[in-house]
Structure 1
Amino acid sequence: MFERITENTFDEIFPLLESAFPVTELRIREDQRKLLQEDCYRLYGVRKDGIFAAVFATWEIEDFLYIEHFAVKEEFRNGGYGGNLLDRLLEEKGRPMVLEVEVPQDDMTRRRIGFYERHGLVYNDYPYLQPPMRKGQGMLPLRFMTKPTAVDEKTYERYKKLIYKIVYKYEGE
């Protein structure tokens, strides 16, 4: 079901990432491709009717799973498909999970947070700044969602430090 993306299938899946994320939340194509060489990085695609219908970009860091990207192709949304995939991924990986979401400011960001809450994730209100994904960009204010529970400040700081170091290669803050 979860197809590990390789150099051979990367160009087939990248357009789904581009269509689902703003440039502030996605690396340029070649930088994203280079991540395939990282030991703890996994890019997975899920096919439906022969085409990639969903994508997960994950990092297996120490004792937790960090989901950097999760997207479902527009025509497969709102029918439970994405939620089922998320549940299966979390069950298969069997470890605490962390992902970043926008600060809830409008209906869309609240709906996105609600989707994750329906799948057992908990919103953590610690201030978090995502390091730039591309040169020339600034820090992006986001929040963590975690599963199976909210995290205490010490755990939040540990997750943040590891994500900054391993995912973003960022030494600041």
Structure 2
Amino acid sequence: MELYAAGFSLHEQRRPEEQIQAMKDPAFHCDALVESGTFIGLLFYWEAVGVTYVEHFAVVEALRSSGAGSRALAAFCPAHAPVVLEIDPPVDAVSTRRKGFYQRLGFAENSYAHRRPPYRTGFAPHPLVVMSWPEALSPEAYSTFSRMLSHRVMRYAQVGISQLAAT
């Protein structure tokens, strides 16, 4: 949870009580990434019929650019396709590198206008780019992902599903 807190902005994190509830949902998976007996990162994801949503993925800072993240996702994606994740729009060096990282792994950028609800009150929804593996999402697959995000994932957020209709 230290990596979760350090690796994501506050509006991208659940409060601890909501995270505990999410972890009880059978569709939610919280994986510690381990390589040669060493913790290298985390992978939080949701599984639904027709789509796997990577909600949070982070590699320990000392191991970034070592290939550890690429190896983890290269092993994960074929077993969970199609895989969907969200990234910040590429507007600076960091966000541009992140997009390139996913593209090198075979993720496709999707053209759907997508606004991510915040996990906590006091924050506004923000635009994100939807990436998917192994190819761009069909409208039906995007709809499945969007419904899962709105009706399952956000169930475990301070904002809550009742406030999503207003965003």
Band of TM-score, shorter chain: 0.7 to 0.9
Query: Structure 2 unaligned runs (5+)?
Result: 156-160
Q: How far does residue 158 in structure 1 lie from its aligned partner after superposition?
A: 3.1
Please say if 1:110 is aligned against 2:74.
Answer: no
Superposed, 1:141-160 pairs within 5 Å as 141-160=127-146
Over the aligned positions, Cα root-mean-square deviation in angstroms equals 1.7
Q: Percent identity?
A: 30
1:23 paired to 2:13: no
Give the alignment partner of residue 106 of structure 2, picking from 112, 120, 128: 120
- Which of 26, 29, 49 is equivalent to 1:62? 49
Match of 2:33 in 1: 46
Q: What is the TM-score with the length of structure 1 in the denominator?
A: 0.84
Please say if residues 77 and 133 of structure 2, whose CA atoms lie closer than 8 Å, have aligned partners that are also in contact: no
Q: Which amino acid aligns with 1:65?
A: T
User: 1:109 offset after TM fit, Å?
Assistant: 0.6
Amino acid at match of 2:55: E
1:91 alignment partner AA: P
Which whole-Å CA distance do the structure 2 matches of 1:39 and 1:136 have between them?
A: 29
SS of residue paired to 2:110: strand
Q: Specify the alignment match of 1:5 in structure 2.
A: none
| 1:69-126 CA distance string (max 9 Å, x none) | 0000000110111100111111333x20100111111111111010001111001122
Letter in 2 for 1:73: V
SS at match of 1:56: strand
Q: Is contact 2:40–2:60 with CA below 8 Å preserved after alignment?
A: yes
Match of 1:8 in 2: none
Q: Runs of 5+ in structure 1 lacking a partner?
A: 1-13
Compare relative contact order (CA 8 Å, sep 6+) and give the higher one, 1 or 2: 2
Pick closer, same or farther for the CA change 1:47–1:140 going to 2, 3 Å.
Answer: same
1:81: which partner in 2? 68
| TM-score normalised by L of structure 2 | 0.87
Stretch moving more, 113-122 or 39-48: 39-48
CA deviation profile, 1:43-67 (whole Å, cap 9, x unmatched): 0002357553200000001111100
State the secondary structure of the residue aligned to 1:157.
helix
Distance 1:92 1:158, change over 3 A: closer
Q: Which amino acid aligns with 1:23?
A: L
- 1:136 aligns to 2:128 (yes or no): no
- Partners of 2:96 and 2:18 lie apart in 1 by 30
